[in-house]
Amino acid sequence: PKMSQLDPRAHPAVDSTAVFKKDIFKNRVLFCTGGGSGICREMTEAVMRHGADATIVGRNVERLTKAAQELSAATGSTCIAVKADVRDPKQVQAAVQLTIEKYGRIDFVINGAAGNFLAPISGLSENGFRTVIEIDTLGTYYTIKATLPHVRATKGSYIHVSATLHYRGTPYQVHVSAAKAAVDATSAVLAVEEGPHGIRSNVIAPGPIEATEGADRLLPTGREDSWPLPTGRKGESRDVANAAVFLFSDAASFISGQVLVVDGACEHVRGFA
């Protein structure tokens, strides 16, 4: 069938609580960078729905505070907002410290804070390239470094939010491609080095997800038709959140060092469809 003829209702996005037990993350604590909005906020909400408390970290304190209040109200778990720029290791360390003072532990870490815009190599400034590397790659490393002793103590788990852009030459995305390739590599090394301490580390690579800042930046209004939709529908933040619930759960206890692409097979589309 033509893609446009596929039935989007065949595989709708569901809520993870319809599949996984509600208390699987009870007494666990999530530390999520970039959790104030978008995909990472949705991931935080899903993990909280299964019983975990959370800290969300970001630069925009108003948005972050509002999100923390809404997430707490929606889930019945506790969420605190901590202002920090992941480009500054001292701010990340302080956010981790506040989390430990509040909850006494960290079980799960989501490295979600990211930066993106479209720019060709010839037009991108040195500072533009460096800025995205600093947020995505260095921010991920600083967060790993600051949380690692605490995640060792709980034999916890990491999820790094990456992308699929760097699997091929995606135009105007050299900064993000370089940054996310480094994130993928970092996760693999973390999985191998820290596996003996009981830590798992995995990457989630979302494809285009509707109603997110990333999609707005990369696929401006009017260009939505360029999205390939092999499953007949667009990805939702909930689809990515459900993958996070699975990867943090004990059902994934032998899964580490992997990249889970959540894109409804978009990445595999080529020609003729």
Binding site for ligand HXC (CB under 6 A): 114-117, 119, 124-125, 127-128, 131-132, 135, 163, 176, 208, 213-214, 217-218
In the bound state with ligand HXC, the residue whose beta carbon lies nearer, of 128 and 228, is 128
Q: CA 133, CA 86: separation in Å to the nearest integer?
A: 11
Q: In angstroms, what is the minimal distance from the CB of 220 to ligand HXC?
A: 12
DSSP-derived 3-state class of residue 203: strand
Q: CA 165, CA 206: separation in Å to the nearest integer?
A: 10
Closest residue to ligand HXC, based on beta-carbon distance? 115
Q: CA 43, CA 243: separation in Å to the nearest integer?
A: 9
Q: In angstroms, what is the minimal distance from the CB of 195 to ligand HXC?
A: 27
For this structure, is 180 an active site residue? Answer: yes
In the bound state with ligand HXC, the residue whose beta carbon lies nearer, of 1 and 123, is 123
What is the enclosing helix (H) or strand (E) of 175? helix 174-194
In the bound state with ligand HXC, the residue whose beta carbon lies nearer, of 26 and 90, is 90
Q: CA 18, CA 227: separation in Å to the nearest integer?
A: 28
Q: CA 151, CA 133: separation in Å to the nearest integer?
A: 24
Q: In angstroms, what is the minimal distance from the CB of 218 to ligand HXC?
A: 5
In the bound state with ligand HXC, the residue whose beta carbon lies nearer, of 33 and 116, is 116
Q: In angstroms, what is the minimal distance from the CB of 29 to ligand HXC?
A: 25
In the bound state with ligand HXC, the residue whose beta carbon lies nearer, of 56 and 106, is 56
For this structure, is 155 an active site residue? Answer: no
Q: In angstroms, what is the minimal distance from the CB of 17 to ligand HXC?
A: 27
Q: CA 224, CA 227: separation in Å to the nearest integer?
A: 6
| Active-site annotation holder among 16, 180, 187, 237 | 180
Yes or no: say if 52 and 30 are a contact pair by the CB < 8 Å rule: yes
Q: Is 172 exposed, middle or buried (0-12, 13-18, 19+ CB in 10 A)?
A: middle
The residues annotated with a catalytic role in the active site are: 162, 180
